[in-house]
Amino acid sequence: MSRILAGMCALLFSLSASVFAQSYKMLYEFGVDPAGPGSANYWSTLVQSRGGYLFDTSNGPIIFRMTPSGKLTVISNKAGRGGLSMGTDGRFYGSSVSGGAHGLGMVYQVDSLGNFKILHSFGSTNGDGDSPAGAPVQSFAGNYFYGTTSSLATQNDSTVYRVNKYGKYEFLKDVPKVSGSFMYYPLVQGPDFYFYGTAPAGGAHNAGSIFRINSAGSFEVLYDFDGTLGSPWGGLVQTDDGSFYGVTQTGGPNGTSSSGGVLYKLAPDRTFTVLHSFGAAGDGTLVQGGLTIGNDGNLYGTTSYGGANGSGVLFRIAPDGSGYSILYNFVPHANGNYPLNPLTQHTNGRFYGTTGMGGNNDFTVGDGVIFSYDAGLPPFVSYLPVYGSVGAKVDILGQGFTASSQASFNGVPAQTTVVYPTYLTAIVPAGATTGYITVTTASGTLKSNRIFTVQP
């Protein structure tokens, strides 16, 4: 077993070592293979699996997996437009704005081989909601996945729900338009155990809102956009200090009702701060994809238009708003343009994303591409769940794991079981405190991209 693991990890590290620094690469072009994905989806994000693959949905409807080098395989044709998240059981949990028993959307479970199960079909009751877009996310407790619907059949309300992996569904909240509507994006659970999210429409000024809700359905609007900064587009990301970051699609000092956008911060004390205004000369504009936190602590994202070629940019900015820089200007058609969704950072250190247009085989509109971008960041490890007490099992993703690899929690060695060269489990050890997780490999020590919180 150790020889197999060692051989596989050597292969993985050789692949990582051969990548190009600070460079963009088109990996897959949508629409080329008649049996493959038709085009990129809105509201979806590439998700890393235990085996190191990237999984996502596309228009088709199709669920696929892809190697980090771009080899794509279709595993299911049962899902519609929506997103995926991975649970601690290694399966993927997805949403679809269509399909299901009533044609109004569904929540489903799918494994890495494509075995598909509908957990709930929306539209079964008048107040059930419909068109769930953002992927349901697993709670820290692990017993339920929480998500939203973007509408409520006959009105502009949205709803919040939860469902477990066996299909037990519970309606949590009907959110009226005055509090926010068309909730398209995944929720984020904060350290206070509330789920945080954005609504791009509705609210006090009909320009969207930031909200939170707990597992009992207690709902609160935290910030109402008034239209001057545009409407929130994309979900929220949270840094280790508890601050939330997001973007608006348009508006701001350099924008209009159809251009610009801002990047903002909502601090734990609810102070709202604009960190960057898009749309100045040479900058990106029309921000639709949301943000990703890199393992260097910076925020990464894309714009759909603007930049040197007018086709969008890939940017980086520090959490305090300093150091904003354009890393890549998308090129019309040839290698993909009009990026749609948040970037995903694979544990190999590279970022992956999708565009809604472009590709070598269609120079007019195009069906989009899957791309990678190497910002020169090192490999790391990520983990699920993000909180745990002593004795809890933690799933750790990375690369180069061997039978002798050792996981530690803030310097305290843990009982470690290597399952694949890209996946191991560890038990939170006695004496562990809140801090980074590290894993030793033959090529060095990998550090987690986030701080792991040890609960009392």
pLDDT digits (tens, 9 = 90+) for 244-270: 999 999 999 999 999 999 999 999 999
How many secondary structure helices (H) and strands (E) does the chain include?
1, 41
Q: What is the pLDDT of residue 366?
A: 62
Q: What is the pLDDT of residue 129?
A: 85
pLDDT digits (tens, 9 = 90+) for 113-169: 999 999 999 987 667 888 999 999 999 989 999 999 987 555 668 899 999 999 999
With bands split at pLDDT 50, 70 and 90, how would you rate the model's confidence at 42? Answer: confident
pLDDT digits (tens, 9 = 90+) for 345-400: 999 999 999 999 988 755 545 689 999 999 999 999 999 998 899 999 999 999 99
Strands 188-189 and 195-199, bridge-based pairing = antiparallel
Burial zone of 91 (CB within 10 Å; 0-12 exposed, 13-18 middle, 19+ buried): middle
Q: What is the mean pLDDT of residues 157-183?
A: 92
Range list for CATH 2.130.10.10 in the chain: 24-374
pLDDT digits (tens, 9 = 90+) for 8-39: 444 343 333 333 346 999 999 998 888 888 88
pLDDT digits (tens, 9 = 90+) for 402-428: 999 999 999 999 999 999 999 999 999
Range list for CATH 2.60.40.10 in the chain: 382-454
Q: What is the mean pLDDT of residues 168-194?
A: 92
Q: What is the pLDDT of residue 3?
A: 41
Q: Using CA atoms, how far apart are residues 199 and 207, in angstroms rounded to an integer?
A: 9
Q: CATH for 382-454?
A: 2.60.40.10
Arch. (CATH architecture) of 24-374:
7 Propeller (2.130)
| φ and ψ at residue 385, rounded to 5 degrees | -75, 180
Q: What SS3 string covers 19-73? A: CCCCEEEEEEECCCCCCCCCEECCCCCCEECCCCCEEEEEECCEEEEECCCCCEE
| % of residues, the chain, pLDDT over 70 | 92
Contacts of 145 (CB under 8 A, 6+ apart): 85, 87, 93, 107, 136, 137, 138, 139, 162, 163, 164, 165
pLDDT digits (tens, 9 = 90+) for 279-291: 999 999 999 989 9
Would the pTM count as exceeding 0.85? yes
Q: Using CA atoms, how far apart are residues 86 and 92, in angstroms rounded to an integer?
A: 4
Q: Are 195 and 185 in contact (CB under 8 A)?
A: no
Tell me the average pLDDT of the chain. 91
